Amino acid sequence: MSIRLWVTGLFASVLLLGGAASAYPMPAGAAGPAGAASGGVPWTIVVLFTLLTLLPAILLAMTPFVRLLVIFHFLRQALGTQSIPTNQTLIGLTLFLTWFLMAPVGTAIYQTSVVPLQNGSIDAVTAVERGSIPIREFMLKYAREKDLALFVELAHEPRPKTPADLSMRVVVPAYMISELKAGFQIGAVLFIPFLVIDMAVASITTSIGMMQLPPVVISTPLKILVFVMADGWHLLVGSIMKSFY
């Protein structure tokens, strides 16, 4: 499965964010499989170009991108390396890890919605409805019940019988704040061993009277050395990825 096909499959799910796809009727000639050959192609092009503009929102709101990026920024702050790794490096790593995690979801969306749409057996609205199912199931795995209940209450929606009855209006923001909480929790845990090193170095330098030398000058190389000797990137990325399986 190429990157192009995976991204195309992911695009097909976003219109369900506000129920927009079902709220607006299809133009004449694109209402069903028979009309897909005539008016369906222009309508599909309009939908895909609209989804292209929403790609950053999809990436942030409906994938683990936010959690991974928050964790990596916490790690950089804990190491005290300021701008190393650079923002571009962290975003690139986060992007490809997100692609790795979302590849099965993208494949499912492609097979259930994009392929039938390309074959003309379903219309664009049906494709969006089918494509929203795999990504909804993915988000529901990691959205906390507490967060889901909060947005159900704020939306004044009736209590759902099953999680599958929740609208994307509720699932997406609940998933986002759940991911932020998870990212901050993991980031706080990452800080602890490096904070211990900082405190130990500060205590030693103060006790021996090295007032003119900032403790960070000594603690930063020590933290980097400990992180490298422990193969920190392998352990961190491996632990994060395994938490999704």
Encode the chain (245 residues) as per-residue pLDDT tens digits: 444 444 444 444 443 333 333 333 444 444 444 444 444 556 667 766 776 777 777 777 788 888 998 899 888 888 888 778 888 888 888 888 988 888 888 888 888 777 777 777 777 677 777 777 888 888 888 888 888 888 888 888 788 888 777 888 888 889 999 999 988 998 888 888 888 887 887 787 777 776 676 767 777 788 888 888 888 888 888 888 888 87
Sequence-separated (6 or more) residues with CB below 8 Å from residue 181: 144
pTM as predicted: 0.71
What is residue 43's predicted lDDT score, i.e. its pLDDT?
65
Q: Report DSSP state, residue 34.
A: G
d(CA 206, CA 203): 5
Is the sign of the CA dihedral 163, 144, 245, 5 positive or negative?
A: positive
What is residue 37's predicted lDDT score, i.e. its pLDDT?
42
63-87 burial, b for 16+ CB within 10 Å, e for fewer? bbbbbbbbbbebbbebbeeeeebee
d(CA 164, CA 27): 29
What is residue 23's predicted lDDT score, i.e. its pLDDT?
36
User: End-to-end alpha-carbon separation of the chain, Å?
Assistant: 20
Residue 47 near residue 131, CB atoms below 8 Å: no
User: What's the number of CA atoms in the CB half-sphere (13 Å) around residue 101?
Assistant: 25
Q: Which of 4, 20, 2 is nearest to 168 (CA)?
A: 20
Residue 113 near residue 9, CB atoms below 8 Å: yes
What is residue 27's predicted lDDT score, i.e. its pLDDT?
43
